[in-house]
Amino acid sequence: MRTPIIAGNWKMNKTPAEATQLIQELKPLVKDAKSTVVVCVPALCVHAAKQAARGSKIKVGVQNMHWAASGAYTGELSADMCKACGVDYVIVGHSERRQYFGETDETVNKRALAVVRAGMTPIICVGERKEQREAGYTDALVEYQTLIALTGMTADEVKKVVIAYEPVWAIGTGLTATDEQANETIGVIRAALARKYGKRVADKVRIQYGGSMKPSNVDGLMKQPEIDGGLIGGASLKAEDFARIVNYQE
């Protein structure tokens, strides 16, 4: 009942010319995709990506956005800018932003609210670090990160967000959560949503897994009932790999 969503997170990779090439390669390979397909590109590549994606079902997203309408926020993007350039999705609160750029649960909430209010879809990232999992805090932490990120949204707005469960220890490391670990923690997130917003809302929210998702493990992960897609870093930079993930075997 939930349409899966496979999103690439290109991080700080690709020039506009390289973006054009990657999307051109991708287009024929994902034309029969049953899931929503998104590429979250560097902001300077949005224009090239939109042009290249024309006539396909590939949606374009960015990797961060500010909550203010405009003003003295050097280095940031506003909702109006994103909308005017045809952006549909915005990654919010990626662990690399939390780790290197001082992103907090409160700023994640402000950004996510601004994305939703502008009619775009936030992909809100949550996930525990290795020592937090080992100490047994995973469930409490992801629940807290999720509910704080959604503060101030109506139930109708919550239905439309995408959440990416990304254990920090699995990002870019080649380590993946097992199918069961990922399914279980995503189930914890959904249960928290159900308690706060009701089961009907929780059943609508798409929750992705992210962290070293690749052609060799996508099928197992996507067979899990709670996992509605993936947020893919490294493997989204090669058309063949990303297409294999998009076309996962059910």
Catalytic residue numbers? 94, 166
Q: What does the H/E/C string look like for the chain? A: CCCCEEEEECCCCCCHHHHHHHHHHHHHHCCCCCCEEEEECCHHHHHHHHHHHCCCCEEEEECCCCCCCCCCCCCCCCHHHHHHCCCCEEEECCHHHHHHCCCCHHHHHHHHHHHHHCCCEEEEEECCCHHHHHCCCHHHHHHHHHHHHCCCCCHHHHHHCEEEECCHHHCCCCCCCCHHHHHHHHHHHHHHHHHHHCHHHHCCCEEEEECCCCCCCHHHHHHCCCCCEEEECHHHCCHHHHHHHHCCCC
Show contacts with ligand PGA in window 141-170 (CB under 6 A): 166
CB of 95 to ligand PGA, least distance (A): 7
CB of 59 to ligand PGA, least distance (A): 16
Q: Please count the residues of this chain forming the interface with ligand PGA, following the rule CB under 6 A.
A: 13
CB of 234 to ligand PGA, least distance (A): 4
CB of 105 to ligand PGA, least distance (A): 18
Q: Which is nearer to ligand PGA, 9 or 109 (CB)?
A: 9
Question: Which residue among 28, 119, 152, 172 contacts ligand PGA (CB under 6 A)?
Answer: 172
Show contacts with ligand PGA in window 181-240 (CB under 6 A): 210-213, 231-235
Question: Which residue among 4, 6, 9, 202 contacts ligand PGA (CB under 6 A)?
Answer: 9
Q: Which is nearer to ligand PGA, 40 or 147 (CB)?
A: 40
CB of 249 to ligand PGA, least distance (A): 19
Contact predicate 172/234, CB 8 Å: yes
Interface map 104-143 toward ligand PGA (x if CB under 6 A): ----------------------------------------
* Binding-site ranges for ligand PGA (CB under 6 A): 9, 166, 171-172, 210-213, 231-235
